[in-house]
Each structure stands twice: as structure tokens, then as C-alpha cells.
């Protein structure tokens, strides 16, 4: 269970992956498409809400996609906190691949799909964007919440692959990456993370000291 083990004055960021949709069940690529939670996705969102119920949540931010917003609503259903939709949490645009089955793409474009899976930062889906393209809005979001929330628990509901980009950026800013921080972003802290569950509804918690700055 995720617990608030932060020291007083720490900021804890909890990344939550939305529950599943029918597109996910069919193996279709969602990207930025607005697809609602499936019945099982609603159950997953409710399970996440129960997992977080022991935390005193300061704020909940959600990506603009429908599944993320529905998951955020479940998390805040028994709380005075209301989710805030942030356009900077828009998922990575998968371009012409959105809505198509991954297995179909593997059959028709095996080499390109394999390159994208092996090195997504360097490969761009047709008319889409790379993970690197998404970094500026991720950094802008992290700057905003680090200035607005000096302590407490902030829940961020965002789908993969953008959730992975956010986690990687926090790790890099906290010195877990072998390379020094770029773009003038600096952190004086180290983060600890904990994951719970696999697949949809996954939780990842980062405890950041008050020295965390961007």
C-alpha cells in the first residue's frame, strides 16, 4: 500500500495510470484519443482510489483524456479535493497509429514498430510525436506544481507513455540518471519511488525533499 512516509515539508508525487478502456482490451493504440473506461477499467480506478484513501491528498491533476478524468473522479469521490485537468498532461500523440491494433501494425510495418518499441525516444509514429517531443510540456508541468505545492501529496493521473516520461524526468532531476540535468533544471534532492500493481491502475510514488527545485 502506498503510504505517506514523507518528512514534514516534503512533496510526494503519486503517478496513477488510468483504468483500462475497450481499446486497451482490443489491443488498439489509444494515444490522445478520448476513450472512456471499460467496466473493468472502472473497477481498477476504484481500486486505485481505495489504495490512496489513507493519504491526505493535497491536489489531483489529470490528463485531458476521458479515461484519465474518470479515474481522477473516482480518486476524489470521497474527498473535498477536486481534480484539475491540465493540457500539459496530454498523452503522447501516436499520430496515424491511434485507434489501430498493435498486432496489425506489427504485421504491416514490423521493422518500424520494432524500432519504435526498442527506441521510442528516437522514432516518431507517422504524423505523431516522440517521447522527446513531450518533454517540454512535462517539464513545464513539473515546474508549475513544484512552485505551487511545496509539500503534501499531489496525485497525477496520466496514461502511458507520458507517465513513463514524467517518471523518467523526475528520476533524472533527482540525480538517478547517469547524465546531468539539462535545460537548466536542477534538483537538490533524491527521490524514492514505490510501485503497486501491474498494468492499468499502476501507482508510482516519488517522495521529494523540500530542496527539490526546477
- What is the band of 65 on the pLDDT scale with cuts at 50, 70, 90? very high
CA distances from 160 to 35, 40, 68, 108, 175 (A): 14, 18, 11, 24, 23
CA dist 96 and 124 (Å) reads 11
Quick one: CA torsion of 152, 48, 168, 69, rounded to 10 degrees? -90
Residue 47: all three cell numbers together: 481500486
3-state secondary structure of 101: strand
Query: What mean pLDDT is predicted for residues 170-198?
Result: 45
User: How far, CA to CA in Å, does 60 sit from each of 2, 53, 129, 155?
Assistant: 16, 13, 26, 5
pLDDT value, residue 192: 38
CA atoms within 13 A on the CB side of 145: 28
Please provide the average confidence, as pLDDT, over all residues in the chain.
82
Mean pLDDT of 76-96: 95
Give tens-digit pLDDT for 139-161: 999 999 988 998 899 999 999 99
What distance in Å separates the CA atoms of residue 212 and residue 59, rounded to the nearest whole number? 18
Instruction: Output the CA–CA distances (angstroms, integers) from residue 180 to 21, 155, 186, 189, in the order listed.
Output: 38, 27, 9, 14
20-63 pLDDT per residue, tens: 999 999 999 999 999 999 999 999 999 999 999 989 999 999 99
pLDDT exceeds cutoff 80 at 187? no
The CATH fold assigned to 11-94+129-208 is Rossmann fold (3.40.50)
Can you read off the three cell numbers belonging to residue 64? Answer: 485531458
- R_g of the chain computed on alpha carbons: 17
Amino acid at each position: 500500500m502506498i503510504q505517506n512516509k514523507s518528512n514534514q515539508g516534503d512533496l510526494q508525487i503519486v503517478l496513477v495510470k488510468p483504468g483500462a478502456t475497450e481499446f486497451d482490451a482490443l489491443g488498439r493504440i489509444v494515444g490522445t484519443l478520448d476513450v472512456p473506461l471499460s467496466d473493468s477499467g472502472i473497477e481498477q480506478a476504484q481500486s486505485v482510489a481505495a489504495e490512496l484513501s489513507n493519504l491526505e491528498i493535497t491536489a489531483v491533476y489529470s490528463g485531458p483524456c476521458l479515461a484519465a478524468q474518470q479515474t481522477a473522479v473516482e480518486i476524489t469521490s470521497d474527498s473535498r479535493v477536486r481534480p484539475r485537468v491540465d493540457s500539459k498532461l496530454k498523452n503522447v500523440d501516436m499520430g496515424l497509429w491511434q485507434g489501430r491494433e498493435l498486432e496489425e501494425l506489427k504485421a504491416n510495418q514490423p521493422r518500424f514498430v520494432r524500432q519504435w518499441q526498442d527506441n521510442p525516444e528516437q522514432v516518431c509514429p507517422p504524423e505523431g510525436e516522440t517521447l522527446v517531443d513531450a518533454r517540454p510540456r512535462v517539464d513545464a508541468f513539473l515546474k508549475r506544481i513544484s512552485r505551487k505545492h511545496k509539500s503534501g501529496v499531489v496525485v497525477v493521473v496520466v496514461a502511458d507513455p507520458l507517465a513513463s516520461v514524467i517518471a523518467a524526468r523526475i528520476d533524472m532531476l533527482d540525480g538517478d540518471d547517469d547524465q546531468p540535468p539539462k535545460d537548466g533544471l536542477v534538483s537538490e534532492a533524491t527521490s524514492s519511488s514505490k510501485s503497486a500493481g501491474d498494468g492499468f491502475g499502476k501507482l508510482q510514488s516519488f517522495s521529494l525533499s523540500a530542496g527539490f527545485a526546477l
